[in-house]
Amino acid sequence: MISLEGVTKAYAVNSGLHLVLNDVTLDFPPRVNIGVVGDNGAGKSTLLRIIAGVEAPDHGRVTRRGRVSWPIGFSGGFNGSLSGEENCRFVARIYGESADEIVGFAQDFAELGEYFEMPVKTYSSGMRARLAFGLSMAIDFDVYLVDEVTAVGDARFQKKCRAAFEARRGRSSVIIVSHGLKTIRDYCDACAVLQHGRVVLCSSVDEAERIYQL
């Protein structure tokens, strides 16, 4: 269960302040997969980072009950000069998990072959996403925060991701940020629309589509 209370966040731009989130109060219901839609630059990733606790809001409060993942995406979080395995080991340690188990699972899931032992900077963005995804799936989170990552990779890998989430339904939920409604439709039960600093929670993707198209 994650709730936002009066969360406000602004970034400095040349012409002053750009208000990304304007006094957002919202409860994310537990065990419901939620997709967050919004135009490019609307602040979807910022919202996700604030939910994760990577960034602090300027005003307001975020309450997290349960274990919430870092924002899983294709960039950030990995050290380019370390191998995939070493990166997994590091993340396992900071989450207090057994490094060997996590590494084994991530290696299996990401299907990187020999590249798993190569520096991450040699990876393509698809490979990075696979590593990030496999690694996050290795750790038992109550809520997975996903930033577009599922749109990456071939059809087979996407199917695998969906199956992994399906297997966790009931135990964990996911909050996905995307500007494509298709991804959201595939994964989510409910939808949140982020527009002009406000977030509206809709009970179905269709309802969200109507608002979003306006």
55 or 207: CB nearest another protein: 55
Burial class (CB in 10 A: 0-12, 13-18, 19+), 179: middle
98 or 203: CB nearest another protein: 98
52 or 199: CB nearest another protein: 52
Smallest separation, CB 53 to another protein (Å): 4
Q: 146 has which bridge partners?
A: 72, 176
Q: How far is CA 153 from CA 15, 110, 124, 137, 202, in A?
A: 38, 11, 10, 16, 29
Binding flags for another protein, 90-129, as an x/- string (CB under 8 A): xx-xxxx---------------------------------
Between CA 111 and CA 208, with CA 132 as vertex, the angle to 5 degrees is 115
Size of the site for another protein (CB under 8 A): 24
Rule CB under 8 A: is residue 70 a binding residue for another protein? Answer: yes
Smallest separation, CB 188 to another protein (Å): 23
Backbone phi, then psi, for 197, in 5-degree steps?
A: 80, 0
Smallest separation, CB 200 to another protein (Å): 26
| List 21, 34, 48, 49, residue binding another protein (CB under 8 A) | 49
121 or 159: CB nearest another protein: 121
Under 8 Å between Cβ of 21 and 47: yes
The residues, any chain, with a CB within 8 Å of residue 56's CB and separated by 6 or more, are 50
Q: Is 14 helix (H, G, I), strand (E, B) or coil?
A: coil
39 or 140: CB nearest another protein: 140
Count of positions (residues) in the chain: 214
| List 55, 189, 207, 209, residue binding another protein (CB under 8 A) | 55
Would you tell me which residues interact with another protein (CB under 8 A)? 49, 52-56, 66-68, 70-71, 76-79, 81-82, 86, 90-91, 93-96
